[in-house]
Structure 1
Amino acid sequence: MSALLQLTSVSQAYNGKPVVDAMSFNLADGEIACLLGSSGCGKTTVLRCIAGFEPLLGGEIRLNGECIASVGLSKPAHLREVGMVFQDYALFPHLDVAANVGFGLRALSDGERRARVGQMLEVVGLATLAAAYPHELSGGQQQRVALARALAPRPRLLLLDEPFSNLDVDLRQRLSHEVRAILKEQGMTAIMVTHDQQEAFAMADKVGVMHQGRLQQWAAPYELYHQPASRYVADFIGQGAFVPAVISGAQCVTLEVGEYCSLQPLPYPPGEQVDVLLRPDDVVHDDLSPLTALVKSKIFMGSEFMYTLQLASGQQVLAQVPSHHNHAIGEPIGIRLELDHLIAFRRG
């Protein structure tokens, strides 16, 4: 797939303080991406630069091959063919749903506008609410109206700024799946900003992890989880514990619980001290295993427990265990490691 959006060394600063630092990535036509990071990492600023709301301090942005922003150049926001869904939806309270969706279609004839509005309300499942006003809608319905309004002018690129943050957890999860399906059905290229990992994984083909204005890794969710490019990404994505180990061969490490080998060579010489990341799904409960660990705490999560386990050295790890294995705190249980993806970093 060809790149629809290209950011090359994009930088921005507020009051002399860098907010986005030399950020580069490509987004293919039809892909959905998420910029993921904690508050203040610069992710919303990137979105605003792409939309045309912020000038660039450095670098350039290209959309469909055209330079839309660089130092001293900024194509007006309304000419960029970029749609945006805001965090607070920004619906017009005095307009009904149909008028909100059709707001950006004033260049069309009345008949064309009505047809496009009707089509978009069908797409988002709100055809029966065309005459309703925003205050009469639920949060999820308002979010759908905002999405329909952004899609109606047929933008080349859609930007979503934490669109689910005002919704409860269950609705967020459901809508993230539904919005992804709508965007894919429409063939839309999109970038969403979020601080919620599960939301990013549910929505995105590519996820960019940001920290202090820098892009730490740009990859598919599976790769981020199993092949993190840095210790920061490994620590930020998912859950887990770093345990000390020593490189014992080109593809092997020795932990206190034994030697484990990777399918890929490790970038450290034998004898190097490293920390190995153990995810909760790497630690498997096995009553027949001679290796045991003490249950230090547990969290009931419905279909499973999240156990905190203590090894003989005192090192603690997490284990994700089906909930019919209900063990008492202080009880030793058998475990084994399944390290299909061996993630190791030099001990700092």
Structure 2
Amino acid sequence: MNDLSLRFGRKVPAILLIAAPPAAAAIIVLSVLYGAKNIDTATIWNALFQFDPDNVNHHIIRYSRIPRVLGALLIGAFLAVSGALMQGMTRNDLASPSIMGVSDGSAFMITLAMIVLPGATSLSMIFMSLVGSAAGVAIVLGLASTVPGGMSPVRMTIVGAVVSTFLSSISSALAVYFQLSQSVSFWYNARLHQLEPDMIRLALPFAVVGLLLAFLVSRHVTILSLGEEVSAGLGQRSALVKVISTLSIVILTGISVAIAGKIGFIGLIIPHIARFLVGLDYRWVVPCAAVIGAVFLALADLLSRFMNAPFETPIGIVTSLIGVPFFLYLIRKRGGGERD
């Protein structure tokens, strides 16, 4: 446990959870106000309460900017919780949905759905994404278990990277062959400005289930993160904890990809920040990772609008600018060993 969490105890998570709503509200206001076209507050008010279907600005606010910032907040929370569970369950500081093949599995299945089921509904795409997410987890864990020392952090990460690259390459090849490159690129380039409000609404029930499972299992993940021997000594059913955790990861990552495509490094960076601030108790790590991840991705999305104005920088570039150095730092710091 770090000095910060020892010194302030539960004050830090309490401050984070209390500060999250006003921070999110401020980001929502800024995200609606500013973009390629700045819109005044009076127009925003009218768009919300006196909607004019003939007013282009009203359509931009209701069907583009509001879904965009809400989607960014939700996806940031989902991916951060997924990463926290993955790192706690595997005791692997390098684990995250984007690195361990989970996100690419979802994107791969969505590509197949676009080929085999060209008229698939949004709900069908969500189901296909969930199936792909589960398949990605199964493939990575299955391959890692067959390699000597494959469950160590670095080797598992290498297996995950290989599986991710393979699935991504197959998806690209299929997209080119079936002339779907432009459509498939949405799920690999994470275009938050193209979010569909209906997809967000359909994904919310799944999100509730995924988050509830994460909160339900968080206390047990704390014990599991201390090691298999400690977990067994305390009488915990580690296999059941891993199954529930994996199910939560599959759901939260799958719907995130279905909503906005693949977004990297949120699930890697945010859990480390949360553990640094609140310690190793996952009853606090999970909710705090959720709020930090939500604010982080929404701020990154807001930043992407100004980095190369008037053009938008892809959100993946913004997260990578922070995520890649952080990833290299973790490799150098942690090496190939498990978390102490």
- Give your verdict on TM over 0.5: no
TM class, shorter-length: under 0.3
- Using the size of structure 1 for normalisation, the TM-score is 0.19
Higher relative contact order (CA 8 A, sep 6+): 2
Higher strand fraction (1 or 2): 1
Larger CA Rg, structure 1 vs 2: 1
